[in-house]
């Protein structure tokens, strides 16, 4: 069984959780041994627009996941310098694919996962990420180094999820999942 | 106050609700008199992936909305021929912008809103929609007739929301909202 852990917190940006959530769940149509979990610190987290979202488990479980996907939103600003929050993660880029959307990169940096690497993030977080010693690629929507990737701008989630799937389930499943959400006449292929 | 009603039901496709939901909410950053409501027949509806989503009101309220946006997913198949469901809507394309994502077009057809019109829908619903007397444009991701539009393929929601905003709040707000979700380096412009 392969597991995707999507890391959620209060004041998350809706698209940055729900777009990857839907895309990752589509893998189940192609791979039976696949699960996607929303992990947080509370039983429910609330988005910036007020949507209450039930979690499937605690962030501590992320250490066992094959893919750890940090979502984003204003909530990251309360977390990336919080040692009590950061200490609950025991991630390992040698055996896990680890990535972030938008300002989720601040948490990756807080965890030391971007040390000596370049990254992208949401424009309002460029300076903060740079002050943490990370080289910010200000015109890139996706920056990858081995098993670590950062993406920015909500729709970059599509390329970020594609990158995760290429690494874990291969090109064919990746292509099917991404084609399944394209607009009709623009590469759309039904998978259910 | 302008109101957007997003119509939700059980077994909705996550992206087809949450992508428009997030986009429409961004309008609030530009227009104070703007609200977005999730309307259903129950207090909570559950997506095909198992996400429970609280509603803000009953589908009967859609008659008062400025934009009525039918989401989609397998759940539409239980509704488009159900007179008890359809009779709760009292929509008027003379004063309302009315549209659908993917198989939501079946409900528009069930309501008689596509009589004499062409439309697009999810490929698995092409034949059903055609059997209801609608001319299906099988290679179009967005088909508009006056105040009525149908779109298909999840990411077509972006162009569908853009069309709704052009009709109700004008080009400048539309451009800002759509730019705010683009990938970095691909037209992304922050609005918050």
Q: What pLDDT, in 10s, does the model give residues B144-170?
A: 999 999 999 999 999 999 999 999 999
Whether residue B191 has pLDDT greater than 90 = no
> A68 in the Ramachandran plot: left (φ > 0), alpha (ψ -120 to 50) or beta?
beta
* Min Cα separation A156/chain B (Å): 5
In angstroms, the separation between the Cα of residue A38 and the nearest Cα of chain B is: 10
Q: Is A71 left (phi over 0), alpha (psi -120 to 50) or beta?
A: beta
DSSP string across chain B: -EEEEEE--TTB-HHHHHHHHHHHHHGGGT-SSEEEEEEESSSEEEBTT--EEE-SEEGGGGGG-SEEEE--SGGGGGTTT-HHHHTT----TTTSEEEEETTHHHHHHHTTTTTT-EE---GGGHHHHHHTT-EE-TT-SEEEETTEEEE-SGGGHHHHHHHHHHHHT-HHHHHHHHHTTSPTTTT-----
Give the pLDDT of residue B62.
98
Express each pLDDT in B21-79 by its tens digit: 999 999 999 999 999 999 999 999 999 999 999 999 999 999 999 999 999 999 999 99
Q: How confident is the model at residue B192 (pLDDT cuts 50, 70, 90)?
A: confident
| CB hemisphere CA count around B168 (13 angstroms) | 27
**CA atoms in the 13 A half-sphere facing the CB of B87:** 3
Q: What is the mean pLDDT of chain B?
A: 97
- Overall CATH class of domain B2-179: alpha beta
Hey, are the CB atoms on B141 and A183 less than 8 Å from each other?
Answer: yes
Residue of A nearest to B158 (CA): A183
Q: Do B54 and A54 touch (CB under 8 A)?
A: no
Angle at B22 between CA B17 and CA B26, to 5 degrees: 145
Nearest in space to A90 (alpha carbons), one of A25, A16, A5, A192:
A5
**Contact state of B15 with A18 under an 8 Å Cβ cutoff:** yes
Average pLDDT for runs of 10 along chain A of length 192: 98 98 97 97 98 98 98 96 98 98 98 98 97 97 98 98 98 97 94 78
Search chain A and give the residue with CA nearest B21. A14
Chosen from A17, A137, A153 to mutate, greatest number of chain B CBs within 10 A: A153
- Kindly state the average pLDDT of the residues B92-112: 98
Decide if B159 and A183 are in contact by the 8 Å CB cutoff. Answer: yes
Distance between CA atoms of residues A31 and A78, nearest Å: 36
**Structure token pair of residue B12:** 């909705």
Q: Do B21 and A13 touch (CB under 8 A)?
A: no
Pick from A49, A142, A185: CB nearest B140: A185
pTM: 0.97
Strand, helix or coil at A38?
Answer: strand
| Smallest Cα distance from B90 to chain A, Å | 27
A-B C-beta contacts closer than 8 Å: 131
- Residue A16, burial from CB neighbour count under 10 angstroms (0-12, 13-18, 19+): buried
Domain boundaries, chain A: 2-179
**Chain A residue numbers touching B190 (CB-CB < 8 A):** 122-124
Cβ contact, residue pair A153, B54, below 8 Å: no
pLDDT at A45: 98
Nearest to B105 by CA among A65, A135, A184: A184
Average pLDDT over residues B104-114: 98
Contact flag A181-B18 (C-beta cutoff 8 Å): no
pLDDT digits (tens, 9 = 90+) for A115-125: 999 999 999 99
Is B124 in Cβ contact with A182 (below 8 Å)? no
Distance of CA A71 to the CA centre of its chain: 5
Residue from B158, B24, B23, B184 nearest A102 by CA? B184
Question: What is the nearest CA distance from A91 to chain B, expressed in angstroms?
Answer: 27
The chain B residues in contact with chain A (CB within 8 A) are: 13-15, 18-19, 21-23, 25, 36, 49, 51-54, 120, 122-124, 138-142, 151-156, 158-159, 180-186, 188, 190
For B25, nearest residue in chain A (alpha carbons): A49
Residue of A35, A183, A187, A189 to mutate for B, most B C-beta atoms under 10 A: A183
> In this prediction, does ipTM exceed 0.90?
yes
Distance between B148 CA and the closest CA of chain A, angstroms? 18
What pLDDT, on a 0 to 100 scale, did the predictor assign at position B63?
98
| Interchain CB distance below 8 Å, B183 and A15 | no
């Amino acid at each position: 069984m392969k597991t995707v852990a999507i890391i959620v917190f209060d004041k998350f940006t809706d698209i940055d959780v729900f777009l990857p959530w839907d895309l990752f769940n589509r893998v189940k149509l192609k791979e039976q041994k696949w699960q996607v979990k929303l992990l947080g610190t509370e039983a429910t987290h609330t988005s910036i627009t007020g949507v209450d979202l039930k979690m499937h488990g605690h962030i501590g479980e992320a250490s066992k996941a094959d893919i750890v996907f940090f979502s984003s939103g204003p909530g990251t600003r309360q977390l990336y310098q919080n040692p009590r929050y950061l200490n609950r993660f025991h991630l390992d880029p040698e055996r896990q694919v680890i990535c972030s959307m938008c300002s989720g990169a601040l948490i990756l940096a807080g965890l030391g996962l971007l040390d000596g690497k370049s990254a992208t993030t949401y424009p309002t977080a460029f300076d903060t990420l740079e002050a943490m010693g990370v080289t910010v690629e200000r015109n890139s929507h996706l920056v990858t180094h081995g098993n670590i990737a950062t993406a920015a701008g909500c729709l970059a989630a599509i390329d970020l999820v594609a990158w995760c799937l290429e690494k874990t389930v291969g090109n064919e499943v990746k292509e099917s999942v991404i084609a399944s959400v394209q607009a009709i006449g623009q590469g759309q292929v039904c998978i259910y």
